[in-house]
Amino acid sequence: MDSKTLASQLRCPSGRDAVEVGERMNEANRLLNNQCIERLGMGADDSVLEIGPGNGAFVADIVEAARGVTYTGVDWSAEMVAEAERLNGRLIESGRARFRQGDAQELPFEAESFDKVLTIHTLYFWEQPAAQLAEIHRVLKAGGVLCLAFGDRSFMKDLPFVPYGFELYDQERIGGLLRAGGFEVVDACQHHEQALSNTGEVVEKLINIMICRAG
């Protein structure tokens, strides 16, 4: 898969390659997902929204992090939503998980619907980040927590697929947008990892994990 095609698939997996791309993303991001779930600090009966869950491979880890957690996943990709529903059938049947196709800029939920929001490696594709953050703030309960994780500009800029539709950030740049959007950044750390990239090469990753509280 050439770099331009891979970039398009990472943005929104589709067609015959979608399932494989979803599985590749899981392999590339397993440790990061575990870190983010831990840092969200799941509490009993929390309602959690994940934006961009892909095939939902880590949903069980989220709902089992505390008693009574319920999960909603929203993804651009119809193929990923279908695959997530297939992989998480038991959790859907029990009422603990649900999936929707949609855009974070127009989330199909009422205000103050969720205690926690998680989004990993989606920030690059937000055409209007202030609007996306406003929507996240709207659906979070007062005092709710957002975990936003993204590759640092210094690491991402040399990846071959990045020139094709990726907007890059560092903590300072996104921190300003978060504060303007009504969030308080309560913790910001960096996850270092030597692991496979989405191109299948071993790279030194530098990932920002920002924990923010809705004011």
Q: Are 92 and 98 in contact (CB under 8 A)?
A: yes
Long-range pairs for 41-48 at CB < 8 Å and ≥24 separation? 41/145, 42/66, 42/69, 42/116, 43/115, 44/68, 44/69, 45/69, 45/70, 46/70, 46/115, 46/116, 47/72, 47/113, 47/114, 47/115, 47/116, 48/72, 48/114, 48/115, 48/116, 48/117, 48/118
Percent of residues, the chain, with pLDDT higher than 70: 97
Q: What is the pLDDT of residue 28?
A: 82
pLDDT at 21 > cutoff 80: yes
% the chain with pLDDT above 90 = 86
Q: Tell me, what's the pLDDT at 24?
A: 87
Q: Which token pair is 167?
A: 């907007």
Q: What angle do CA 22, 210, 75 make, to 5 degrees?
A: 30
Confidence at residue 202, expressed as pLDDT on a 0 to 100 scale: 78
* Residue extents of the structural domains in the chain: 3-214
pLDDT at residue 198 in the model: 66
- Give dist(CA 73, CA 165) in Å, integer: 23
pLDDT of residue 52: 96
Q: Kindly report, residue by residue over 70-127, the tens digit of the pLDDT.
A: 999 999 999 999 999 999 999 999 999 999 999 989 999 999 999 999 999 999 999 9
Q: Which CATH superfamily is domain 3-214 in?
A: Vaccinia Virus protein VP39 (3.40.50.150)
Model confidence at 141, in pLDDT bands (50, 70, 90)? Answer: very high
Going by pLDDT thresholds of 50, 70 and 90, the confidence category of residue 26 is confident
Q: Give the tens place of pLDDT for each residue, 163-202.
A: 999 999 999 999 999 999 999 999 999 999 886 676 677 7
> Tokens standing for 130?
């202030």
Mean pLDDT of the chain: 94
